[in-house]
Structure 1
Amino acid sequence: MNRQGITQVLSRLSYIATLGMMTRIASSFEKTRKISGPRSLQPSQFGMVCPCDTPEGESCGLVKNFANLSQVTLDLDDTLVRHAAHNCGVEELDTITPSDFRNCFSVFLNGVLIGIHRYPYCLCRAMRALRRAGRLHPHVSIATQERQRSVQISSDGGRIVRLLIVVYNGTSALSHTHLERLANKHCTLNDFLAEGVVEYVDVNECNDCLIAVRLDDVQAHTTHL
């Protein structure tokens, strides 16, 4: 196999150039083909991929960059996540019958069926509360899918997650006090993550949230900012 560009020299022209090269996404699509689909940003990539940072010329759109506050998840041990799900009311498969699936939501962990739950939204709230309290890894994702009547819990690697501000009852959890502490270098974003002020959300969980772009757009049912 004859491929070029597998290894590249890290550019140190500026701090922004270094960050841009370390978060670069290079597509294997042929640069000479004039097709707009692979060069465009998909709606599910909003907030995950930078819409501006792309080169000019034939590589336009084929070379993208992650957003500044997005990360790629790594594989996590799902034992703790499985125990947390069962402690939150997920019924194990050996204790249910096929008729129980009729009035319940199926619960999947990394695509594997682990049980059912009669109140899926209560399960999601409980699991997210554990994540914000630091009991679960910040990259664990919990999302409800109404059409499939399922709850998807993900702790596998390769998912892109973005950092969002948590909103409680129409009020942002990030206050001016937090911003002053951050400006005075008395804390970092990791401290906010441990306090449950911000959290990482992947694409599946974004579809289960109401995200406001600006502070003025926050409503009573808004979940993130």
Structure 2
Amino acid sequence: RRTNTPIGRDGKLAKPRQLHNTHWGLVCPAETPEGQACGLVKNLSLMCYVSVGTPGEPIIDFMISRGMEVLEEYEQLQSPQATKIFVNGVWVGVHNDPTELVRDVRQTRRNNIISSEVSLIRDIRDREFKIFSDAGRVMRPLFVVEPGDTPSTAHQKGDLYLTKNMVQKLRETHLADQEGAFIPEEQRYEWSDLQKEGVVELLDAEEEETAMICMTPEDLEIYKLKKAGYDVPEDNGDDMNKRLKTKMNPGTHTYTHCEIHPSMILGICASIIPFPDHNQVS
């Protein structure tokens, strides 16, 4: 799970070696060699996944059935405000109601009709909807949060799709595996089931730019209370080891995803260090 940037080791350029914002959760911020290769040889984070690639044609056919106008029939004068649709970098058509199209394609991905490793990026300013299904994209899993625009759903706006019942079933399967007990196949509940049910979603660096991700489910609850008009007091306790929280931005419209755990930004070697978020003993 090691990556290599093909740049000459003897170069004195600092920029390719520095940590970038888009590396969050995808590349370990600590695990890199010292010396000439520092910052050029990187290691993937714990829950990273590299896409293997799926064909883009079924997605194009699905969007045509949802009202996409193919490029050969597009007349710019008739619909100048239409949103351009790209599949793996190729302009395939336009659509006049991109909000509904993006929602439909996202639901098909969460319902496992199209592959979970397909990325959907809607750029509202440039009026573009980009879809990537090619191989070699580094992705990471996140919990899905209900944004409030999904039709026919039992979830309220700001609710995690993950429920306590799902966590209990995961725990029971894990404990049975540890004890060597037999569980029938239909009663087993694993990570792949979370993906199939649309509770966990894989996002790449580009789709993450269009997502609003909160750090913990606790932050999500505080956000919901503040949005409902409740005054949540700041916890200024004396606990020296408490987590530093970022101030909530009052302009935050909605959350779309939630981090699984903050420690998932680390790679394999960094994650076995005890208390990596504390100072070293001098």
- Report TM bin, short chain: 0.7 to 0.9
Quick one: distance in 2 between partners of 1:150 and 1:82?
Answer: 15
Aligned residues: 203
Quick one: distance in 2 between partners of 1:156 and 1:111?
Answer: 10
**What is aligned with 1:137?**
115
Tell me the TM-score normalized by structure 2: 0.67
In the TM superposition, residue 143 of structure 1 has moved relative to its aligned partner by 1.0
Question: What SS is found at the alignment partner of 2:203?
Answer: strand
In the TM superposition, residue 89 of structure 1 has moved relative to its aligned partner by 2.2
Quick one: distance in 1 between partners of 2:61 and 2:37?
Answer: 46
5+ residue gaps, structure 1: 1-22
**What is aligned with 2:209?**
207
Per-residue CA deviations over 1:48-86 (Å, capped at 9, x if unaligned) read 111122233433322211112121112321121111122
Q: Quote the sequence identity (%).
A: 31
Quick one: distance in 2 between partners of 1:197 and 1:33?
Answer: 45
5+ residue gaps, structure 2: 147-156, 174-187, 225-253, 259-282
Tell me the TM-score normalized by structure 1: 0.83
In the TM superposition, residue 100 of structure 1 has moved relative to its aligned partner by 3.6
Quick one: distance in 1 between partners of 2:67 and 2:101?
Answer: 7
**What is aligned with 1:176?**
164
Structure-to-structure mapping, 1:102-141, within 5 angstroms: 102-141=80-119
- Aligned partner of 1:201: which letter? L
Stretch deviating more after TM superposition (189-198 or 63-72): 63-72
Quick one: distance in 2 between partners of 1:55 and 1:175?
Answer: 41
Coordinate RMSD, CA, aligned: 1.8
Bigger radius of gyration among the two: 2
**What is aligned with 1:222?**
255
- Aligned partner of 2:256: which letter? T
**What is aligned with 1:87?**
65
Is structure 2 residue 38 aligned with structure 1 residue 27?
no
Q: Residues 104, 29 of structure 1: CA spacing in aligned structure 2 closer, same or farther, 3 A cutoff?
A: same
In the TM superposition, residue 101 of structure 1 has moved relative to its aligned partner by 4.5
Quick one: distance in 2 between partners of 1:171 and 1:205?
Answer: 21
**What is aligned with 2:44?**
66
Equivalent residues of 1:88, 1:127 under 8 A apart: no
In the TM superposition, residue 175 of structure 1 has moved relative to its aligned partner by 2.1
**What is aligned with 1:10?**
none
Q: Residues 61, 133 of structure 1: CA spacing in aligned structure 2 closer, same or farther, 3 A cutoff?
A: same
Per-residue CA deviations over 1:4-59 (Å, capped at 9, x if unaligned) read xxxxxxxxxxxxxxxxxxx1112233334443212212112211111122233433
Equivalent residues of 1:143, 1:153 under 8 A apart: yes
Structure-to-structure mapping, 1:93-104, within 5 angstroms: 93-104=71-82
Stretch deviating more after TM superposition (133-142 or 73-82): 73-82
**What is aligned with 1:20?**
none
**What is aligned with 2:144?**
166
Q: Residues 178, 96 of structure 1: CA spacing in aligned structure 2 closer, same or farther, 3 A cutoff?
A: same
Aligned counterpart in structure 1 of residue 200 of structure 2, from 190, 193, 198: 198
Quick one: distance in 2 between partners of 1:46 and 1:54?
Answer: 15
Aligned counterpart in structure 2 of residue 48 of structure 1, from 26, 29, 48: 26
